[in-house]
Amino acid sequence: MTQSSTPAASAREKARKPRAHNAPPGIDIHARAPQPAKNSEVVYRDLRRAIIAMELAPGTPIVEKEITDKYRISRTPVREAVLKLAEDRLVDVVPKSGTFVARIPLTILREALVARRALEEVTVRAATARASESQIMHLRAIIQRQQEMADTGDEKAFHRADEDFHAEIAAVGRFPGIWDMIQQIRIQIERYRRLTLPQKGRMQLVVNEHKAVLEAIAGRDADQAASRMHDHLNKLQLDIAVFRDLWPEYFIYDPALDDDLLMD
């Protein structure tokens, strides 16, 4: 098998001419976890989780020294993780001064909500077009699980089910790349969401909205599915102005775009 020249391999050989290096292993970009997790990746994930969970408040300094001591590693992988977080706009690096958990930019928040809405409308339309019966049953099962979590009041599991629902719609629509984009956008939104207090009955409302979306999918009505998804995702942006006044130090606020925050 090592030297068999299958038609699939012939094309690859052309690129391999100068060096075998030219042909990196045919690993799918989305599935390369066989390697032992790199240290920088571990630090990155831990920090990201803590920042998104608002355990590290905006403005908190990120001191590389503390992290190197905690994980018993050198600055190099720590720095790598910090740079990734900077790419995600979760930290601000001030040269020769310090690194800080980023404040939440209100204008970006507004745009993130709009962009997510647009992309999820795409995925739900595609899902409506191609959902099989089994996939619809799977979505029903997810909603049922979310209903049970809402009944027992398990917020964490509830949000896991919430994410699963949206992820499954993207998967059914066959848009894994767009789902990645949505997740990237969700990172920005998530910190804001964590500031919202658990409102009584909100979980049941979310479940009902999910049910409405699924009904439209099952009825093969793409327009209705998109519309209901739109309404569902709109619920988040109700009171940006309120939180800006409650935690002013958590946000960055650009007065030039004030009016934008109030419009749809």
41, 46, 64, 80: which one contacts a copy of itself (CB under 8 A)? Answer: 80
Binding mask 185-224 for a copy of itself (x = CB under 8 A): ----------------------------------------
- 101-140 residues in contact with a copy of itself (CB under 8 A) are 102, 105, 107-108, 111-112, 114-115, 118-119, 121-122
What gap in Å lies between CA 23 and CA 213, rounded to an integer?
45
CB of 29 to DNA, least distance (A): 15
CB of 202 to a copy of itself, least distance (A): 27
The residue within the footprint of DNA, chosen from 5, 6, 97, 199 (CB under 7 A), is 97
Q: Is 64 in the site for DNA (CB under 7 A)?
A: yes
Report the partner that residue 39 touches, choosing among DNA, a copy of itself, none (CB closer than 5 to 8 A by kind).
DNA
* Number of amino acids touching a copy of itself (CB under 8 A): 56
Exactly one of 52, 62, 102, 213 binds DNA (CB under 7 A); that residue is 62
Q: Long-range CB contacts (< 8 A, 24+ apart) of 217-226? A: 217/124, 217/127, 217/128, 217/131, 217/136, 217/139, 217/169, 218/131, 218/136, 220/128, 220/129, 221/128, 222/124, 222/125, 222/128, 222/129, 225/124, 225/125, 225/127, 225/128, 226/121, 226/124, 226/125
| CB proximity list for 218: less than 8 A, separation 6 or greater | 131, 136
Point out which span in 5-13, 62-70, 132-140, 192-200 binds DNA (CB under 7 A): 62-70
- Candidates 140-148, 160-168, 216-224, 254-262; binding stretch for a copy of itself (CB under 8 A): 254-262
CB contact set of 210 (below 8 Å; sequence gap of 6+): 143, 146, 162, 165, 232
Terminal Cα-to-Cα distance of the chain (whole angstroms): 60
Stretch that binds DNA, among 58-66, 154-162, 231-239, 255-263 (CB under 7 A): 58-66
Residue position matching structure tokens 């809402």: 150
Instruction: Quickly list H helices, the chain.
Output: 7-15, 39-52, 64-71, 75-87, 106-130, 133-152, 155-172, 176-195, 202-218, 222-234, 240-246
Residue 18 makes contact with a copy of itself by CB under 8 A: yes
Query: Using the rule CB under 7 A, is 96 a contact of DNA?
Result: yes
Could you give the dihedral angle defined by the CA atoms of residues 78, 82, 84 and 86, in that order, rounded to the nearest 10 degrees?
Answer: -170
- Minimum CB separation of residue 12 from a copy of itself in Å reads 6
Residues that bind a copy of itself (CB under 8 A): 11-12, 14-15, 18-19, 21-26, 28-29, 35, 38, 57-61, 80, 83-84, 87, 89, 92, 94-95, 97-98, 100, 102, 105, 107-108, 111-112, 114-115, 118-119, 121-122, 174-178, 181, 248-249, 252, 254, 257, 260
